[in-house]
Structure formats: C-alpha cells, structure tokens
Structure 1
Amino acid sequence: MTSDAVRKRNPEALRERLLQAAAAIAVEQGIQAVTIQAVAQAAGVTKGGLFHHFASKDDLIQAVIAHQLSAFDEIIDTALLTDSDRGCFTRAYVAAIFALSEATAPVSITLMAEQGAGQQWGDWISARLEQHRLTDAGSDLTVVRLAADGVWLWDLWNGKPLELVGAERLALFNHLIDATRRETSR
C-alpha cells in the first residue's frame, strides 16, 4: 500500500504526524524554523497535504499548542478519575506540571514563547478553575498552583528542568501535594 493510500485512509494519523513534525522542528531549531515547507518535508507530505489540515503556519502552530494542552488535560483527567476530594484539581495540576516538566518541557517551553499561547493557556486555566470551583477554591490552593507554575516557568525561562534532581524534586512535589490536603479556612 502506498503512503498516499495510507494518508487518504487515515487523515488523523497524518494530522498527528504534522503536529509532531512541527513540534520537533520548533524544539530543535526554534519556532522561526517552523515553516510550511519544513514541516511538510519532515512529515513526508506535500505542502498541499499540509494545507489540507492547516490553512496557515499560524493555524499549525496554534494546533500544536492546542495539542499540548490536550495532552495536559489527559494527564489531569486521568488523575481526577481517582480523586474528587477538596484540592483534587490542584493535585492533578501539580502532577501534570511535574510530568510536563520532565517529559515534554522542550516542546512546551518553545511553544509557550509563541504569541497567542498565553491567551490559549489563560482560557484553558480559567475554564478548568471554573469547572472545579467547588473543590479547588481558596487562596491556599491558589498558592500551590502558583508554586507549580513557578517550577514550570523556571523550566520555560531556563530551557531545562529545575535543577532539583531525584530526591529534591520529589520532596518539592510531595510538599506541594501535601499542601493541598491541609484543611484551612476558605
């Protein structure tokens, strides 16, 4: 079966390849290197094949950012399956930040510097906080989320995970998780 036949039968797989190619180029060469030609070539398709999925470079980059947020959502939603107590979203958020920092920091770091990413992130976090307002309201939980954001921002600004390794990083993670379980006045 030719690759053309495979592409026609599985457009989602092609879209995924295009997103992965764009993310890889952004990490390896910088966001400015993400061009229609470069992504199409890396994914093994024509520019027309790319344009079938994305109308422009900006659409492609926004889709890569949305794809990253979707992966972040999956980590959070999986954690929420087994936790519905006070602070459940914050615990899932902290776990996702630490997983993101360790596994996909280069992609998220590169993409969050892109214009428009902040707006997508802001919309996402606002929606999630509204969704979990009954379990995750309170300044104590806000402080924990902001501390986790600090870990992620350190990774973002320095281009590498926070220089806490092994036991130190685990201790910080556990401290933040423990802080979500403390009962305080709301």
Structure 2
Amino acid sequence: MRPTSIVNVMGLSPKQIEKAEQVRQDILHAAAEIVIERGVQSLTLAAVASRARVSKGGLLHHFACKADLIRILVETLIADFETALDACAKGDPEPYGRRIRAYVRANLAYSVNNRKIAIALFPLSFSEPELVTLLRTSCDRWLNSPDEIDSVQSYVIRLATDGFWMADTMNIHSENSNLREKALEHLVKMTYPA
C-alpha cells in the first residue's frame, strides 16, 4: 500500500504532475529530517516549509494540516516496510513460515533513517492512537495470512523480532555481536518445519 499521490483532477500536464509529486516528496523528506534531528515536538508546518523550501501555502496544498503530514509520513514508512516484506517473501522458496521469516528479515534490514523516524514518532502513539492502528493493521494484514506455521510460535517470533528491532534501533545490544547473530539464526530456524 503506497500512500496516495498526486492525482490529475485539474488537467495538469505530466510534467506538472511530476513536479508536484517531487515537491510533495521534498516536504515529506524535510519532515523526516526534522523528526530525526530534533524530535517530533519540533515538527511544525513552518519548520517543514522552510526546510523543504516551499511556502507554508505550498505545503498546505499538499498536506491539509500537521496531522495529515504525520499520517502520510507514517503511511510512507509502512509502505516502505511492506515493500521490503514482499521482497523478502518472494525470495524465499520455502512456503512454511515464509511470511514470518520475511517479517524477521525485513525488520532487521530496515533502514537506519526509517528506524530513527519511527522511534522519533513513537511518543505520538500515546496521543494519536490512529497512528498505532495504521501500524497494527499493516502487521495484522501481513502476519495473519496463512503461513502454515503455528500461530503461537509465529507470535513469539514476532515479539522477539520486535525486540531485536528496538534494541538495534536504540543500539543497546552488548558488544557480543556473535551472540546476537547466533540468536538471530536461532530465531530464523524456528520459522522452518521441524
């Protein structure tokens, strides 16, 4: 699921549509940079407009309000992750456990910047429950599909993967990377038939 992009409802030329989409992406990129550098509390429409080098009116043409901008930023993170999930699953010839294995692999390969954005946006989960709903819906859609693996085992692997993701993102693993790698190998082995 890619977030909605510019639609041609006003008879714009393909070049105008491309330029409008580039401005929209520049705005999202500017918002992500601000969130990474200074935290979500510093994310204001004026700051994003300045960073993206657009007027505030230009920003509001693409995003109705700050909440809309944040929602699209979260949807973009989810879409990037779902693309990684699909790629990991397509490259896996073993059907048993394929989806949960893809979840493990995609989580561990998630870009550093996307991790930083996700962590910076985390405080909003307490005040903006609809953002958590977006994440939950994506995970449930992916992980509740038939995979032939035991649902309890799949859930345990999912929780362990989420823990690895958080530890990697916050850089809190011990210096023993060999132990970490062995634990990850063990986790992936759990996704195959016994």
TM range (shorter): 0.7 to 0.9
For the pair 1:82 / 2:91, whether they are aligned, the reply is yes
Distance 1:48 1:54 in 2: 10
Instruction: Extract structure 1 runs of 4+ deviating beyond 4 A.
Output: 6-9
Matching residue of 2:146: 133
For the pair 1:53 / 2:62, whether they are aligned, the reply is yes
For the pair 1:174 / 2:185, whether they are aligned, the reply is yes
Matching residue of 1:100: 110
Report the CA distance shift for 1:182/1:94 in structure 2 as closer, same or farther (over 3 A): same
2:146 partner letter: R
Report the CA distance shift for 1:164/1:174 in structure 2 as closer, same or farther (over 3 A): farther
Deviation at 1:119, TM superposition (A): 1.5
Aligned ranges for residues 35-50 of structure 1 at < 5 Å?
Answer: 35-50=44-59
Secondary structure of 1:21's match?
helix
| Percent of residue pairs bearing the same amino acid type | 31
Gaps of 5+ in 1: 1-5
CA RMSD of aligned residues (A): 2.2
1:106 partner letter: K
Matching residue of 1:73: 82
Distance 2:171 2:110 in 1: 10
Matching residue of 1:148: 161
Larger helix share, 1 or 2: 1
Distance 1:7 1:167 in 2: 52
Secondary structure of 1:63's match?
helix
CA contact (8 A) 2:81 2:110 kept: yes
Report the CA distance shift for 1:9/1:104 in structure 2 as closer, same or farther (over 3 A): closer
CA contact (8 A) 1:87 1:135 kept: yes
Distance 1:87 1:126 in 2: 15
Deviation at 1:104, TM superposition (A): 2.9
More displaced stretch, 142-151 vs 111-120: 111-120
- Which residue among 164, 167, 171 is the counterpart of 1:161? 171
Gaps of 5+ in 2: 1-14
Q: Tell me the TM-score normalised to structure 2 length.
A: 0.80
2:141 partner letter: A
CA contact (8 A) 1:31 1:110 kept: yes
1:143 partner letter: V
Count of aligned residue pairs for this structure pair = 174
Q: Tell me the TM-score normalised to structure 1 length.
A: 0.83
CA contact (8 A) 1:7 1:14 kept: no
Secondary structure of 1:175's match?
helix
